[in-house]
């Protein structure tokens, strides 16, 4: 997890992201109708991270997907996936039970732990 570019190959990243996903779900469920649309912040990585990987900033066709200035995230901004999967919007991934991301956290009160089922893009299924 020390290398931001190579961290996807680190087994600890799965536990780290599973916990972040759980925290995100708890935060969203605390006020779902409001937090489904709560967003903001920059929509690109800091330049020093891109420099470490030898990458450049995405072009205007990616950043200006909704005709805005491209520096602040909106629900209409495109999440550029570099052809790994289809590009999607911030709004599509904010909805945890939508067509792009489907995650449900169920509290097992007897075991006092979280059980998680996640389905993404309609063809990948896993249970933790």
Residue range 26-44, pLDDT digits in tens: 888 888 888 888 877 776 7
Quote the CA–CA distance of 67 and 120 in Å, as a whole number: 28
Global pTM reads 0.56
Helix (H, G, I), strand (E, B) or coil at 108: strand
Quote the CA–CA distance of 118 and 60 in Å, as a whole number: 33
pLDDT of residue 127: 44
Report the alpha-carbon angle 52-54-55, nearest 5. Answer: 110
Report the alpha-carbon angle 13-16-21, nearest 5. Answer: 120
pLDDT of residue 56: 85
Rounded to an integer, the average pLDDT of 10-25 is 82
Kindly tell me if the per-residue pLDDT of 21 is higher than 60: yes
**Cα Rg of the chain (Å, integer):** 16
């Amino acid at each position: 997890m020390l290398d931001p570019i190579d961290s996807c190959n680190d087994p600890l990243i799965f536990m780290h992201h599973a916990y972040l996903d759980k925290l995100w779900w708890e935060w969203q469920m605390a006020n779902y109708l409001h937090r489904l649309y709560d967003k903001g912040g920059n929509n690109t990585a800091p330049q020093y991270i891109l420099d470490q990987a030898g990458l450049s900033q995405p072009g205007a066709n990616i950043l200006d997907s909704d005709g805005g200035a491209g520096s602040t995230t909106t629900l209409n901004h495109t999440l550029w996936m570099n052809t790994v999967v289809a590009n999607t919007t911030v709004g599509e991934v904010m909805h945890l039970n939508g067509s792009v991301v489907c995650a449900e956290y169920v509290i097992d009160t007897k075991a006092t732990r979280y059980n998680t089922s996640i389905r993404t893009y309609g063809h990948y299924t896993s249970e933790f």
